Amino acid sequence: MDTRTLIDSIVRQTTVLIAQLSTAAGVRAPLAHVADQVFVDLAHEIERQGVRQKVVADMFGIALRTYQKKMQRLSGSVADRGRTLWEAVVGFIAERERATRATIEDRFRHEEERDVAAVLKDLVESGLVYCTGQGPSAVYGMTSALDRQAQRDAEQLASLHDFVWLAVFLHGPLSANELARLLPYPDASIDDALKALVNDGRIERTPDALTSYRCGQFSVPVGATSGWEAAVFDHFQAVAIAIAAKVVDGAPRSGTDDVVGGTTLRFDLSPTHPMRSEVLGLLKRVRAEVNDLWNRVEHHNTVHPLAISQLERVCFYFGQHCTRPAAPTFTRADEPPNTTPTSSDDKHG
């Protein structure tokens, strides 16, 4: 198995996803911590697999002592997110309530002028900042603090609750301290989330002497206005775990009786293709079929509770997306289209 090429390709695709998430909706998420976070998490996970530190250091191409010092330094500071230029500009305007473009550019004169201009444009388009006038005398000010705070608090609270709920479902029973090690939230925020989730019945406390939490399901229904972030992570994690399970199983190939794995199919269509609606309706049909099965399983489990010792959790994932080529491709009239068959786990039609 060509592990190096596979790893390089996955890292490249993951960085594309992170880049798109970090710039979603015009917001520039802080990324200063990402490289350090990746190093620490990757090193910890490799060590958890039973690999000695000296070997791990060699895998990173550094001496053991250098590796140990770096881990010690980063483990203590990796949670410090730092301030991006985007955050610094917001803070500068917020402190003064309003500032001219000339004042802002002077304050950040050591930054690239185009970067400052791009940040100001993002802030105005996102509604976080308003702008009156043009040129150096243009005035930038923060929109209503109460409105901003209310929106931010509501979004963060909903997201925090969903991530805590998902973590309890995937890894429970968990204590508050164990959750704090899994999630990048303050202890007090996690405690508040746990109380709220218990109160609305999404999770429950375990009956033993330890204060732990568990739940039987995690669900973000179609059309829900919150839970998107946790649902995306859940799907991404499901794919990653399935791939890892396939690799650990020692059989990197597909089989007709597989219970671990996945299938990717790509359909080439046109606006007038006779099966276009049938293909585009795959997501809706599969979602309906799987949801019906899930509901029937849950009903059976409610009537006939499962013993923990016999519990086997099956994670089924699926998805769909449509893309269009950047430029049209053409096939000579005397040349048949490419219909070369591929493996059963990756078809291009």
Q: Identify residue 195 by its one-letter amino acid code.
A: K
pLDDT of res. 59: 87
pLDDT of res. 228: 75
Q: What is the pLDDT of residues 257-270, one digit of tens each?
A: 777 777 888 898 99
pLDDT of res. 272: 93
Q: Kindly state the average pLDDT of the residues 18-40.
A: 68
The CA-CA-CA angle for residues 218, 220, 225, to 5°, reads 145
Query: Where residue 339 falls among pLDDT bands split at 50, 70, 90?
Result: very low
Using the predicted structure, report yes or no on whether residue 254 has a pLDDT greater than 50.
yes
C-alpha torsion 25→29→117→137, nearest 10: 90
pTM for the predicted model, two decimal places: 0.53
Using the predicted structure, report yes or no on whether residue 312 has a pLDDT greater than 90.
no
Domain ranges of the chain: 25-82, 90-143, 155-229, 264-304+316-323+337-349
Longest Cα–Cα distance of the chain, Å, equals 77
Query: Where residue 309 falls among pLDDT bands split at 50, 70, 90?
Result: confident
Highest averaged pLDDT of the listed ranges 178-182, 184-188, 224-228: 178-182
The CA-CA-CA angle for residues 89, 91, 97, to 5°, reads 100
Q: Check residues 143 and 52 and name the one with the higher pLDDT.
A: 52
97 near 103, Cβ under 8 Å?
no
The enclosing H or E element of 264 equals: strand 264-266
Return the CATH number of the domain spanning residue range 155-229: 1.10.10.10
Q: What DSSP assignment string belongs to 99-162?
A: EEHHHHHHHTTTS-HHHHHHHHHHHHHTTSEEEESSGGG-EEEE--HHHHHHHHHHHHHHHHHH
242 near 318, Cβ under 8 Å?
no
Q: Pick the range with the lowest mean pLDDT from 223-232, 286-295, 319-328, 334-343.
A: 334-343
Q: Check residues 314 and 10 and name the one with the higher pLDDT.
A: 314
Helix segments in the chain, DSSP class H? 3-22, 34-48, 53-59, 64-77, 85-96, 101-107, 113-125, 145-171, 176-182, 187-199, 228-248, 276-280, 282-303
Percent of the chain scored above 70 by pLDDT? 76
pLDDT of res. 16: 74
Q: What is the pLDDT of residues 41-80, one digit of tens each?
A: 888 888 888 888 989 888 888 888 888 888 877 765 443 3
Query: How far is 105 from 135, CA to CA, in rounded Å?
Result: 11
For residue 327, give the 3-state DSSP assignment: coil
Intrachain domains 90-143 and 155-229 with the same fold: yes
36 near 78, Cβ under 8 Å?
yes
Query: How far is 228 from 199, CA to CA, in rounded Å?
Result: 22
> Which CATH fold would you assign to the domain 90-143?
Arc Repressor Mutant, subunit A (1.10.10)
Distance (Å) of CA 267 to CA 288, 314, 340: 21, 28, 14
Q: Check residues 156 and 244 and name the one with the higher pLDDT.
A: 244
- b/e per residue 174-184 (b: at least 16 CB within 10 A): beeebbbeebe
Q: What is the pLDDT of residues 78-135, one digit of tens each?
A: 433 334 677 778 888 888 888 999 999 998 887 778 888 888 887 887 677 889 998 8
Cis peptide before 186 (omega within 30 of 0): no
164 near 227, Cβ under 8 Å?
no
Q: What is the pLDDT of residues 268-284, one digit of tens each?
A: 899 899 999 999 999 99
Percent of the chain scored above 90 by pLDDT? 10
162 near 156, Cβ under 8 Å?
no
Q: Pick the range with the lowest mean pLDDT from 101-105, 150-154, 163-167, 233-237.
A: 150-154
Q: Check residues 13 and 173 and name the one with the higher pLDDT.
A: 173
pLDDT of res. 335: 40
Query: How far is 310 from 225, CA to CA, in rounded Å?
Result: 35
pLDDT of res. 278: 94
